[in-house]
Amino acid sequence: MERRPGLPMTVHAAGKWEERKWELIGILGKALVNALFATIRVESQGQEKVRAILESRRFIFAFWHSRILLISYLYQGWGGVILVSASKDGEYMARVLKRQGHYPVRGSTSKGGLRALAQQIRHLRMSPPRPAVVVPDGPQGPRFRAQPGVVLLAQKTGYPIVPVTYSARRMKVFSSWDRFILPFPFTVCKVVYGNPVSVPADADAAILGARLGLLERELRRVTFEADRAFGHCIDG
C-alpha cells in the first residue's frame, strides 16, 4: 500500500491540538472556580479535631461526588493524589485538578480500579508527604453509597480517612445522579469535617466492611448536617 505523505505529521498535529484543547480547559476551569469562590465566604466546622491529621498531610480525604468543587479549591497546591474516572467526562475534572496542583490518577471502582489503587499507593510513598483523595460514591453512584476502594487504600497506607463535605446557603442542585451542587456567587458555604476512620493493616473482610459502613454513615451525617444548616434537604 502506498504511504500517504504528510499523514504522520497530520496525526501528530491533531494530537498536539487535542492536548492544547485539554490544557486550555484546565486553565479556564481553574480560573472559573477561583473566581467563583473568591466571592464566597467559607465557614468551617469540626476542623479542630482533625487539625493534627491535616497538618501531617498523611491522610485520605473522603467526600461525595457532588461535593468536590469547594474541597479541591480549598486544598489546591497540596498535591492530593485523587482518583478520577477514566471516562472522557473525568478528563475535564482531571485537567482542572491538575491545574490546582493535585495528582489525578485515572480509574474507578468499575474500571481500572486495582491498577489505579496501586498508582495511588506509589504516589503516596513519594516525598514530601501528600494526602490521598477518594470519592467513594463515584464515578456513577449509587449516590451516598461508599464503595470499598477507600478502606482498602487506608488499610494499605495506614492513613486515617477524614470525611469532609460542604453545603451552601444559595446553590444550584443539578438533576444528575449525584445531585451535584454549584454554589451561587456571593453566598456562604459551610465545610464540615467528620470523625476520622482508621483501618487496621491486618483487617479481615468483616472489619473492612464494618469500617466502610462507619465511613458511609459519618459522611451521610456530616453532609446532612451541612445541608440542614442552610435549610436544605437533598435526598440520599
Q: Are the beta carbons of 96 and 74 closer than 8 angstroms?
A: no
DSSP-assigned beta bridge partners for residue 161: 60, 197
Confidence of residue 51 (pLDDT cuts 50, 70, 90): very high
Write out the three cell numbers for 99.
491545574
Give the mean pLDDT of 189-211: 98
Question: Hey, what's the cell of 123?
Answer: 504516589
Mean local confidence (pLDDT), 88-117: 81
Residue of 191, 194, 193, 187 lying closest to 172 (CA atoms): 187
Rg, C-alpha atoms of the chain: 19
Distance CA 207, CA 211 (A): 6
Tell me what pLDDT residue 108 has: 63
Percentage helix, strand, coil for the chain under 3-state DSSP, each rounded to 5: 45, 15, 35
The end-to-end CA distance of the chain, in Å, is 59
Distance of CA 236 to the CA centre of its chain: 18
Cβ atoms within 10 Å of 52's Cβ, excluding its own: 9
Label residue 14 exposed, middle or buried (CB < 10 Å: 0-12, 13-18, 19+): exposed
- Would you place residue 1 in the very low, low, confident or very high pLDDT band (cuts 50, 70, 90)? very low
**123-164 per-position pLDDT tens digit:** 998 889 999 999 999 788 899 999 999 999 999 999 999 999
Tell me the CATH class for 12-228. alpha beta
pLDDT at res. 138:
76
* pLDDT, tens only, 196-205: 999 999 999 9
Rounded-to-10 torsion of CA 24, 27, 30, 32: -70
Q: Are 139 and 90 in contact (CB under 8 A)?
A: yes
Ramachandran region, residue 211 (left: φ > 0; alpha: ψ -120 to 50; beta: rest): alpha
Q: Which cell goes with 32? A: 472559573
Question: Helix (H, G, I), strand (E, B), or coil: what is residue 184?
Answer: coil
Residue spans per domain, the chain: 12-228
Mean pLDDT score across all residues of the chain: 90
